Amino acid sequence: MKTFSPKWIAPAGIAAVFLAGGSLTVPTFAAMRPILQVIPVSIHQPAQNPLQDLAFATPSTGWLAAQGELYATTDGGNHFRAIRLRGLNLTDLTPLTSHTLIAVSQSPSGAKLAISTNGGNSFTTRPLALNLANNVTFDTLSLGYAISPSRQQPDQGGTLFRTNNGGKTWIPLKTPEPALAVSIDANGFGYIFTQPKITSSNQAGYGEGAFYVTHNGGRSFQLVNRISGPGMIQGAQIKMVKNGAWVMVDGGAGMSQSSYTVFRLIGQQFKPVLALSTAGAGPAPGIPATHHTTPIPQGPGSYGGEIFPISATRAYFVGGCAACGYGTTSVTETMNGGKTWSKGTAIPAVNGMSYTHVTAFPSAQTGYLLIQGGQNGTVLRTRDGGLHWQAIYPSPKPSPVLGAQMITPKLGYGVGIPGAANDVLMTRDSGATWTIVGQLPVHNPLYNGPQSAQIVAFSSPNVGYIIGSDQHLYKTQDGGKVFAPFALKGGSGRASSIDMQGRFGYILGALGHHAWLTRNGGLTWLPAASTDPVSLMADAAGLAKTAIPTAARAQQANFLALGPTPDSGSFMLSSQTGYQSTRNGGKTWKRYMFPHDQWITWSAMQFLTPRFGYAFSTYDGLFVTTNGGQAWVNRG
């Protein structure tokens, strides 16, 4: 990163302004002599280790694993108790009972098998070969299985091992072909999924696999059936239930997509019941190119997460789409063995949270979903079989994730909580706590996630506007309790962004076809010639003929934020790397630089007093500053 002296004067006749964006450019707009002062900015966010795994033994008892920490709950996630783990970094949580938990701990120095019999309060450990650390399953405290990948082809099948003494020793088992997945119960009954050894003369083996059954704990195996197709096979997971079994086979991957196929034991064979082929990942694995029988239901999203069966005929499946609304997560359910699946609608307001999911359904109605990503990961809970979801971690207390605006240093409004995109929230303590005060009357949502633009705009503590998940504009006149549809003449009632700063504001119509501005807090709205957010706010505030909008366009600024008193001429241009502030109509500027490892995409920013300001990010939530912008604290 380049550094600057506190003051820098441009040569005569050259306009040099450092504005929005990470690069340093010399715009070619009207000449001026700016003095630019660079001010480092600090961003403070909660210090929490990212979550790595989730497991529940019952609907109320479960655990979350983070780096060096374990969080335990006995009330279904309403409260979590932190347990410090000295020298342990747990993954692959396997609960055997409400008190017995087995996990794997990996570190640069090696791997360990960690066993707790007191609900995770303490663990005994045993050395575990690194080659076994990623494929360990236990059905009792003593009986477990693991797969050691081939050294030559670690992404393909390997050797199956069994332990009868809780991991003290491991015995290799002979399998017909290299094993990719295993599930064998305490009675010695179970299945393995294998793939033929890949050689230079057998490249077709990448698309071949086989299911085998054992009745004696892996001492011998019998073929159930084989699968093959043009789709590549790269992994599998087997989930056994009473009188049945489900298997998810992972296919190719590319362009943030992955193909997959879910098989279920039907009669004496495993047959496909859910599949996804994508342009970036290729055909679904195990499906012949000549398959013309009963169509296989298509899985949700563009990549697979996890299959979680409840019984031989009922199961949940989690999928995602990285290219949909900043990344979406969907859950679908079958109650008839995969013949039909529920519509895999994306969970509202759970966007931009990465692509990895861990699922636990300890009962048919109660389920937990870990979405790994963002700063620390988010855990959702459903109590109605996946119809509705509620965030319970990092906090069960609601806070807006789609949009927010502070009206005063204490009072603010927001919209959207994980699982409920149209809930309206209010804060009276600068964003420290939020309460749900109303709900937008949305009937046909078009999207379920954040937009990059501002969607919350209040002109006073009682009067405000919010864009709903149907992209329609709604107005409240009672502080967010009741909303009614709002449309302007010449518009459709749909909007893509709205901003209100004091008495100045604008509405940008859907697809950017129409725009309106106000100079009296929304009492009247006038058609605007421009559809650029920066130009709209500059026009509304009477700044169109100053150097500010020109400078903003030169740096591709996202929006223009007015100062505590717009008439005084304090303005900011937002960017990911920082923002610029001028107090004299753009003649001189100060550049506030964010830390290089904490770049945040803002959708709103404004100073309400010379020292108090707020900013909102659809990825990270609400931030406030009380010292004029030199330090920002996350309240999300």
pLDDT at position 10: 26
Q: Percent of the chain scored above 70 by pLDDT?
A: 85
Tell me which amino acid residue 42 is: S
Cα gap 214→563, rounded to integer Å: 72
Indicate the pLDDT class of residue 212, thresholds 50, 70 and 90: very high
Nearest to 630 by CA among 48, 47, 37: 37
Q: Which of 18-27, 83-92, 214-223, 372-381 tops mean pLDDT?
A: 214-223
Q: What is the distance, to the nearest Å, from the Cα of residue 445 to the centroid of all Cα atoms in its chain?
A: 20
pLDDT: which is higher, 277 or 199: 277
CB 576 within 8 A of CB 601: yes
Strand 526-527 and strand 515-518: pairing? Answer: antiparallel
Nearest to 608 by CA among 411, 424, 432: 411
pLDDT at position 502: 87
Asked whether residue 36 is assigned to any structural domain, the reply reads: no
Indicate the pLDDT class of residue 593, thresholds 50, 70 and 90: confident
Cα gap 400→622, rounded to integer Å: 8
Nearest to 612 by CA among 597, 599, 623: 623
CB 111 within 8 A of CB 134: no
| CA–CA distances in Å: residue 13 to residues 30, 261, 500 | 9, 65, 36
Asked whether residue 480 is assigned to any structural domain, the reply reads: yes
Asked whether residue 630 is assigned to any structural domain, the reply reads: yes
Q: Which of 134-148, 541-555, 615-629 tops mean pLDDT?
A: 134-148
User: Which segment of 63-72, 84-93, 298-307, 344-353 scores lowest on mean pLDDT?
Assistant: 344-353
pLDDT at position 18: 23
User: Which segment of 141-145, 197-201, 506-510 scores lowest on mean pLDDT?
Assistant: 197-201
CA dihedral sign, ordered 330, 331, 332, 337: positive
3-state helix, strand, coil in the chain (%, to 5): 5, 45, 55
User: Which segment of 37-41, 254-258, 340-344 scores lowest on mean pLDDT?
Assistant: 37-41
pLDDT at position 77: 92
User: Which segment of 112-121, 305-314, 437-446 scores lowest on mean pLDDT?
Assistant: 437-446
Cα gap 230→252, rounded to integer Å: 10
CB 245 within 8 A of CB 265: yes
Asked whether residue 457 is assigned to any structural domain, the reply reads: yes
pLDDT, tens digit (0-9, with 9 covering 90-100), for 363-375 = 999 999 988 755 5
pLDDT: which is higher, 634 or 506: 506
pLDDT at position 240: 95
Contacts of 174 (CB under 8 A, 6+ apart): none
Q: Which residue has the tokens 């979406």?
A: 328
Cα gap 402→421, rounded to integer Å: 8
Cα gap 483→455, rounded to integer Å: 14
Catalogue the E-assigned strands of 60-130: 62-66, 69-73, 81-84, 90-95, 101-107, 110-116, 124-128
pLDDT: which is higher, 366 or 289: 366
Asked whether residue 61 is assigned to any structural domain, the reply reads: no
pLDDT at 263 over 90: yes
Q: Which of 148-152, 282-286, 298-302 tops mean pLDDT?
A: 282-286
What is the value of pTM for the model shown?
A: 0.80
Indicate the pLDDT class of residue 261, thresholds 50, 70 and 90: very high
pLDDT at position 303: 80
Structure letter (DSSP) for residue 619 = T
pLDDT at position 19: 31
CB 611 within 8 A of CB 627: yes
pLDDT at 134 over 80: no
Overall domain count for the chain: 1
Indicate the pLDDT class of residue 326, thresholds 50, 70 and 90: low
pLDDT at position 437: 96
- Number of Cβ within 10 Å of residue 285's Cβ equals 32
pLDDT, tens digit (0-9, with 9 covering 90-100), for 5-63 = 222 222 222 222 223 333 333 333 333 345 467 777 777 766 567 888 999 999 999 99
User: Which segment of 87-91, 213-217, 323-327 scores lowest on mean pLDDT?
Assistant: 323-327
Cα gap 636→622, rounded to integer Å: 5
Bridge partners (DSSP) of residue 208 are 228
Q: Which residue has the tokens 């059954």?
A: 213
What would the 3-class secondary structure string for 457-510 be? EECCCCCEEEECCCCEEEEECCCCCCEEECCCCCCCCEEEEEEEECCEEEEEEH
Nearest to 120 by CA among 105, 138, 101, 140: 101
pLDDT, tens digit (0-9, with 9 covering 90-100), for 495-552 = 889 999 989 999 998 877 789 999 999 999 999 988 888 889 989 988 888 877 777 7
pLDDT at 204 over 90: no
Stretch 83-88: mean pLDDT, rounded?
87
pLDDT at position 2: 30
Domain CATH number, residue 571: 2.110.10
pLDDT at 157 over 90: no
pLDDT at position 373: 59
Stretch 544-565: mean pLDDT, rounded?
77
pLDDT: which is higher, 291 or 419: 419
pLDDT: which is higher, 597 or 591: 591
Cα gap 393→504, rounded to integer Å: 38
Asked whether residue 84 is assigned to any structural domain, the reply reads: no
pLDDT, tens digit (0-9, with 9 covering 90-100), for 464-480 = 999 988 889 999 999 99
Q: Which residue has the tokens 């500010």?
A: 548
What would the 3-class secondary structure string for 118-133 be? CCCCCCEEEEECHHHC
CB 315 within 8 A of CB 332: no
pLDDT at 89 over 70: yes
pLDDT at position 46: 61
pLDDT at position 423: 93
pLDDT at 420 over 90: no
pLDDT at position 295: 85
Indicate the pLDDT class of residue 201, thresholds 50, 70 and 90: low
CA dihedral sign, ordered 393, 396, 397, 398: positive
User: Which segment of 65-79, 197-211, 404-418 scores lowest on mean pLDDT?
Assistant: 197-211
Q: What is the distance, to the nearest Å, from the Cα of residue 176 to the centroid of all Cα atoms in its chain?
A: 40
Q: Which of 289-303, 589-603, 606-620 tops mean pLDDT?
A: 606-620
- Provide the residue range defining the domain that includes 445: 403-634
pLDDT at 227 over 80: yes
Q: What is the distance, to the nearest Å, from the Cα of residue 70 to the centroid of all Cα atoms in its chain?
A: 21
Stretch 623-634: mean pLDDT, rounded?
89
Asked whether residue 193 is assigned to any structural domain, the reply reads: no
Return mean pLDDT, the chain: 83
Asked whether residue 499 is assigned to any structural domain, the reply reads: yes
pLDDT at 444 over 90: no
Tell me which amino acid residue 125 is: T
